[in-house]
């Protein structure tokens, strides 16, 4: 398992927990949990889990010379389906991350979410969010 | 090429052959070919190939200390298009796998397919399947 | 960062620049820039950037014994959204690549784009293209 694999695991853990509404676990992926943003204010709380699926792909990892910090750009594609909401893509965009190795684990220092494409987000994002 | 790369190759080989209707090749990816399930009874047989595209992403690999066994969780997103069926996502879900290194090759011991999201599967899954 | 990671970075750089309409950067990823094809004649020029998102996944890398050449098969799934064009998949297919290590960087020798699935490509591909 390479350093790149470990960093990708961090990206995937974020999606995994987000898709299941496990926001505490999402926050634990950050050096400073508050840097995760206010997830309850951003996302419509899923009923049951998972109700979205964030495909994270195309991760380009730039490792610092120290080997303990990296910047990462990746794509996400969020799919959603609910009983009264047919399977469809609801958003797509980019994650711009700074990650760091602390205590043997990679963590997010910062994650910028760039929502380039927005579909029907009525069941995904809270309306007050400027997507 | 890392161990994680080799394991991901196994995940991708499954999708590659499934999307092309090469079920014998899918079965060969399993230690016990019958563990692949009855593919002919599960999937609508594609006419020509490929008629689906299973994007496999977000693979989180947990390698056992032995280094010859691992459990893997990943996402899949199945897209389909046919002459009379517009391009669309038809299913999305998770693969929960146990994989093992045998004779120098990684193989599936077990693959659990969790179809979280189901779209129009009339051309993808046989109707008798409880999706 | 493994050799496979470096090769995947090349695949992702292609998508990154293509999605942003940075065709000169796409061409620089090829040993012979003309092997990138006539991008202006193939794709509808995005207004602003990015206007497509090419998810590249399922990359199976076969490294030559030399360690400086490889053949790669991967999937792509192109999503698009514009102000007057709802978020949707517009194409999906396969990339069949030959890549080579030159001067410390992996570059494409050849990229074959197989567009297996075609959606509404009116805002993605030029009409004269036989998709």
Residue C34 has pLDDT above 50, yes or no: yes
Q: Is the dihedral of CA B104, B70, C56, B23 positive or negative?
A: positive
Whether residue C131 is predicted with pLDDT greater than 60 in this model: the reply is no
For residue A117, list chain C residues with Cβ-Cβ distance below 8 A. 53, 79-81, 87
Name the DSSP letter for residue A111. E
Q: What is the DSSP letter of B30?
A: B
Express as a percent the part of chain A with pLDDT over 90: 85
* C112/C51: higher pLDDT: C112
Cα–Cα distance for residue pair A65/C123, rounded to 1 Å: 42
User: Which pLDDT score, from 0 to 100, does residue A129 have?
Assistant: 53
ipTM here: 0.93
Q: Which residue of C has its CA nearest to B20?
A: C116
Q: Which residue of B has its CA nearest to A15?
A: B58
What is the DSSP code string of A54-82? EEEEEEEEEE-TTSSEEEEEEEEEEEEEE
Choosing among C13, C51, C55, which should be mutated to test the A contact, i.e. which has the most A CBs within 10 A? C55
With beta carbons under 8 A apart, name residues in chain C contacting A96.
Answer: none
The pLDDT, as a whole number, for residue C128 is: 55
Ordered strands of the C105-118 beta sheet: C52-63, C69-82, C85-102, C105-118
pTM, two decimal places: 0.94
Q: What is the pLDDT of residue B131?
A: 46
More confident residue, C47 or B30: B30
Number of alpha carbons in the 13 Å side-chain half-sphere of residue C51? 17
Residue C51 pLDDT: 83
Contact A87 B118 (CB under 8 A): yes
State the average pLDDT for chain A: 93
> Quick one: pLDDT at residue B109?
98
Measure CB to CB from residue A60 to each of C16, C57, C79 and give the nearest one.
Answer: C16
pLDDT of residue B49: 66
pLDDT at position A29 over 90: yes
Q: Please state the separation of Cα B3 from the chain's center in Å.
A: 19
Confidence of residue A131 (pLDDT cuts 50, 70, 90): very low
Cβ atoms A81, B90 nearer than 8 A:
no
In a mutational test of the C interface, the residue from A116, A118, A120, A121 whose CB has the highest number of chain C CBs within 10 Å is A116
**Which of C60, C73, C92 faces B87 most closely, judged by CB atoms?**
C92
pLDDT confidence bin for C101, thresholds 50/70/90: very high
Q: What is the pLDDT of residues A80-118, one digit of tens each?
A: 999 899 999 999 999 999 999 999 999 999 999 999 999
pLDDT tens for chain B, residues 1 to 131: 789 999 999 999 999 999 999 999 999 999 999 999 999 899 987 676 678 999 999 999 999 999 999 999 999 999 999 989 999 999 999 999 999 999 999 999 999 999 999 999 999 998 755 54
For residues C93-112, average pLDDT: 98
Mean pLDDT across chain C, nearest whole number? 93
Q: Which residue has the tokens 């997010």?
A: A108
* Cβ neighbourhood burial of C42 (10 Å; 0-12, 13-18, 19+): middle
- How far is it, in rounded angstroms, from Cα B40 to Cα C90? 29
Give pLDDT, residue B51: 83
- Burial of residue C14 (CB within 10 Å: 0-12, 13-18, 19+) is buried
- Take residue A83 and report the two structure tokens written for it: 């009983």
Task: Express each pLDDT in A69-82 by its tens digit.
Answer: 999 999 999 999 99
The per-residue pLDDT for B2 is 86
The H or E element spanning position C39 is: helix C39-42
């Amino acid at each position: 398992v390479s350093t790149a694999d470990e960093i990708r695991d961090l990206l995937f853990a974020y999606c995994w927990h987000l898709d299941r509404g496990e926001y505490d676990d999402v926050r634990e992926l950050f050096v400073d949990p508050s840097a995760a943003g206010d997830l309850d204010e951003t996302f419509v709380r899923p009923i049951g889990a998972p109700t979205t699926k964030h495909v994270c792909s195309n991760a380009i990892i730039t490792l610092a010379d120290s080997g303990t910090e990296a910047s990462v750009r990746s794509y996400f594609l969020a799919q959603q389906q609910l009983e009264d909401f047919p399977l469809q893509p609801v958003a797509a965009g980019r994650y711009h991350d700074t990650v760091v190795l602390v205590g043997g684990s990679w963590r997010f220092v910062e994650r910028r979410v760039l929502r380039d494409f927005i579909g029907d987000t009525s069941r995904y994002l809270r309306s007050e969010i400027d997507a």
